[in-house]
Amino acid sequence: GNTEPLPSKPQQVPELPTTTLNSDFGTLHGNAISIRNSLVTGADESKLPGCVILASPGAGKTTLLGSAWMQLRNEYEDDFKSLAIIVKQEDLPSFIAISDIAICVKSSSKRAAIEIIKFVNNSMCSDGRVSRLFLDDYLTSQKYLAAGVKGAYIDLETYAIFDSKKEAAEANSVDAISLKDALDTALNEAWLVGREYNLSLWVSSHSSNVEDLPFMGSSDARSVGDFILLAKDSKRDFINNALMNNYLISDSNKRSQLKQQIDDVVVNSNEPIILANYNNWTLGVVPQTVRNEYEQMRGKTVIQPATKTKLQTEQSTVLQPDDTSPCEDVEELNIDLQAAQL
């Protein structure tokens, strides 16, 4: 007789089922936010994998990942460790403002390779920190990195760089290995086991072919990560073409089902369509609010002096907007690195 009424359940936006399409834009927007948030939620619980975002040019891949990056930085503050390798010079200031290290690979390819190796090695420890490595426009980055590391060797104990194996031996660095091999190994390690140490590798690419990512050389390697496909409405064929690849989704019925769902979506705005393997493949439309968050971040390009000093103390290199000169001289590079070891 004195039983109290059960509290009413809060109203929640339902997630889009993979078998039916709800054309309500509130649901599609909610799905896109859920996909973005899946890159952030539980980041310190040793469970979030790496992420590959395959996007058509101009679809907003940097915007989507940049907003998630900002959320991680705001949530974990000093416990968020980050390295961003950027292709476009105009994107560099935004990531300098929110990253421990941000490097334009076009102008500093060798330094970028060394910092990737150091960052992965230093992140492979259980210290409670959350680490993110972002490789922007992977295919373009790889071309610059390949040119920058060609013929070079690295001592993984001291991070000293040599022009040849003979030079390394003369310097008593008998265990020096190819800088290219060391870079590929670091990326592969970050992708496969990084989650155990709260390290995630985020990669963006303009190619819809997952086989273009060599550090994910097998289907088993591809299966451990998150995949996001992104395209504006006028270029939705980019997503459809990706769905034709059985390396991405082996179930042909599933591929046909998703393609039909995408065909049924009508977008009357400039908001991009997003499809991710989150929750057994989820379809959405990225709302303008995500763009607004990123633009707000882009406006914060000035680092306060106190913050700059702290970053320089904790990290080996912090590139400022005007620090874009190539770092290709071996002797000069070694002096720089030895003077600023982690």
- For the segment 45-96, what is each residue's pLDDT rounded down to a tens digit? 999 999 999 999 889 888 899 899 988 998 999 999 999 999 988 888 878 8
Comparing CA positions, the residue from 179, 178, 202 lying closest to residue 190 is 202
pLDDT for 240 beyond 50: yes
- pLDDT for 153-183, tens place per residue? 999 999 999 999 999 999 999 999 999 999 9
CA distances for 286 relative to 92, 114, 156, 197, angstroms: 23, 35, 42, 30
CA dihedral for 210, 212, 216, 219, sign (positive or negative) = positive
**Residue 220 pLDDT:** 72
**Residue 242: is its pLDDT beyond 70?**
yes
Place of tokens 């989820």: 282
Q: Rounded distance, CA 86 to CA 101, Å?
A: 11
Percentage with pLDDT > 70 across the chain: 76
Closest CA to 72 of 318, 330, 297: 297
C-beta separation of 117 from 182 below 8 A:
yes
Give the model's pLDDT for residue 313. Answer: 34
CA 45 to centroid of chain Cα atoms:
18
Q: Residues 244, 255: contact at Cβ < 8 Å?
A: yes
> Which 3 state secondary structure label does DSSP give 296?
helix
What separation, in Å, do the N-terminal and C-terminal C-alpha atoms of the chain show?
A: 68
Structure tokens at 262: 């995408």
Q: Give the pLDDT score at 161.
A: 96
> How many CA within 13 A on the CB side of residue 76?
24
Two tokens, residue 28: 């599609």
pLDDT(216) > 80: no
pLDDT at site 24: 65
Angle subtended by helix axes 109-123 and 179-193, to nearest 10:
40
Query: What are the structure tokens assigned to 215, written together?
Result: 């550090």
Q: Hey, how many other C-beta atoms are within 10 angstroms of the C-beta on 58?
A: 13
Task: Specify which residues 55 forms β-bridges with.
Answer: 230
CB distance 216 to 222 below 8 Å? yes
> Average pLDDT, whole number, for the chain?
80
Is residue 50 within 8 A of residue 224, CB to CB? The reply is yes
Q: Where are the alpha helices (DSSP H) in the chain?
A: 25-37, 61-76, 92-98, 109-123, 138-149, 165-170, 179-193, 219-223, 237-243, 252-264, 288-298, 305-314, 330-338
213 confidence band (pLDDT: 50, 70, 90): confident
Q: How far apart are CA 46 and CA 43, in angstroms?
A: 7
Residue 259 one-letter amino acid: K
**Letter string b/e over residues 159-171, b meaning 16 or more CB atoms within 10 A of that residue's CB:** bbbbeeeebbeee
B/e letters for 110-134, b = 16+ CB within 10 Å, e = fewer, are: bbbbbbbbbbbbbbbeeeebbbbbb
Residues 238-262 have a mean pLDDT of 85
pLDDT for residue 51: 92
pLDDT of residue 164: 95
The pLDDT value recorded for residue 217 is 55
In angstroms, what CA-CA distances link 318 with 42, 50, 124, 310, 341? 28, 24, 21, 10, 13
